[in-house]
Amino acid sequence: MTVANSARGRARRVVNSGPLEALTRIGFIGYGLLHLAVGWLAIQIALGRPTGESDQSGAFQTLAGQPFGRFLLIVVVVGLAAMAVWQLLLAAVGHQAERGMSRTAERLASLGRTVIYAALSWTAYGVLTGAPTSSAQQQQSATAGILAHPSGRFLVALAGLAVLALGVGMVVYGAKRKFEKRLMTYRMNEATRAAARRLGQAGYIAKGIAFGVVGLLLADAALTNNPGKSRGLDAALRTLVAQPFGVFLLILVAVGFVAFGVYCFVQARYRKVTT
């Protein structure tokens, strides 16, 4: 057996291990809490109530302000870190049921999710330790840094189009119920399966709309050379509410985020975690 094969074998054993699976399922609970908090903050914007940033850092700060908030954040930090490790291992040796380019695409997607979960865990850790953190300010600063380079506007526009494409993909993913293949539906009764289907559809479509607006704002920041227009999810939600029928649209998106949060709790029980 080669060193590479031995390493892959060890990685698969870690992915399929009980401790990592348990921590990953806890991570889905933390991920669900994050989306519930974002949905709550979005509703506050829709109702015109004063609120801080309605993005990931704002959501973690909202969780921190609840009873047992510090404990909740510790659960979120550990769980999301475990999810990052899980996805990293899947990117390396997972998705064995797929073949050829399909497996490559799934592994690249897992690599992207690794970055997302790790970044969210780090943001939650920053809130937990009291370090100054702002997802909106971080994105604006990053965009400003890129725009300062000669090819910066092109790169930011390209990133905006990529995020827009991701948003469209999430809408399609939810509408076509592609998420169901990742669930152990054979362990669900009919009522649970139907609830998971509706929650997943509403959640992915709402997230896709939000990501689509984030992508458009990034592209607009590139076209106008104004990094202030690129402030992530918070700016996307506030942009939505400023549109005709914006309050109605934002409430729908907020309900979708809440639905996705509940769907994450379903995933904590029924998601296929092993390779």
Write down the domain spans for the chain. 3-270
Confidence of residue 14 (pLDDT cuts 50, 70, 90): low
pLDDT surpasses 60 at 4: no
What is the model's pLDDT at position 268?
95
pLDDT at 29 over 90: yes
Q: How many other CB atoms are found less than 10 A from the CB of residue 76?
A: 29
| pLDDT at site 261 | 96
| Closest C-alpha to 77, from 17, 139, 18, 33 | 33
Run of H or E including 222: helix 190-224
pTM of the complete model beyond 0.95 = no
% of the chain with per-residue pLDDT over 70:
87
Give the lowest-confidence range in 137-151, 174-188, 261-275. 137-151
CA-angle at 247, arms to 241 and 248, nearest 5°: 130
Kindly tell me if the per-residue pLDDT of 245 is higher than 90.
no
What is the model's pLDDT at position 133? Answer: 61
Assess whether pLDDT exceeds 90 at residue 179. yes
Check pLDDT > 60 for residue 234: yes
| Predicted pLDDT at 36 | 93
Return mean pLDDT, the chain: 84
Flag whether pLDDT at 47 surpasses 80. yes
- Averaged pLDDT, 99-106: 86
Largest Cα span, the chain: 64
Yes or no: say if 246 and 159 are a contact pair by the CB < 8 Å rule.
Answer: no
- Which of the pair, 105 or 229, is modelled with greater confidence? 105
Residue at 196: amino acid letter:
A
Q: In the predicted model, is pLDDT for residue 197 greater than 80?
A: yes
Q: Is the pLDDT of residue 273 over 80?
A: yes
**In the predicted model, is pLDDT for residue 3 greater than 80?**
no
Looking at per-residue pLDDT, the higher value among 148 and 116 belongs to: 116
| The pLDDT of residue 186 | 92
